[in-house]
Amino acid sequence: MKDGPEYPHLDPSARAQLERRSDERLTWLLQPRWIGYTQAQTALSRLEALMRHPPTHRMPNVLLVGPTNNGKTCIVQHFANRYPTRLDTDGERRVCPIVAVQMPPVPDEGRLYEEVLGVCRTNESIKGIRLKI
């Protein structure tokens, strides 16, 4: 492996890729990576504070808004992965601690509800639900 003073600027995980074939390096390069820049860390801290909020009849929530290609989806996915959907202790109900959906490009209540139900009902078909909403 090319190591040491030749490539001190590289992270060890990147340095480890130097000996791999080109196609393997390209695959590694194209994988998504979390980059915890300041604004992303601030957003995550705020989301974590919401998770620690004591249960109440009107729980707080947050809407993450920002310019295109600013990392909003990545922040939400990174956070949602910390709190995956699981079955309750009886194994009968699905518990969704985080319901993260993207707003449809055109304002449409039915499509929004369809997105929410899709997150919460991952093992069941939601085909036709839109017609009922």
Structure confidence by residue, pLDDT tens digits, 69-105: 889 999 999 999 999 888 888 888 888 888 888 877 8
Check pLDDT > 60 for residue 111: yes
Q: What is the mean pLDDT of residues 37-53?
A: 94
Global pTM? 0.69
Q: How far apart are CA 109 and CA 103, in angstroms?
A: 10
Is residue 129 over pLDDT 70? no
Domain coordinates in residue numbering, the chain: 1-31, 38-132
pLDDT at 5 over 80: no
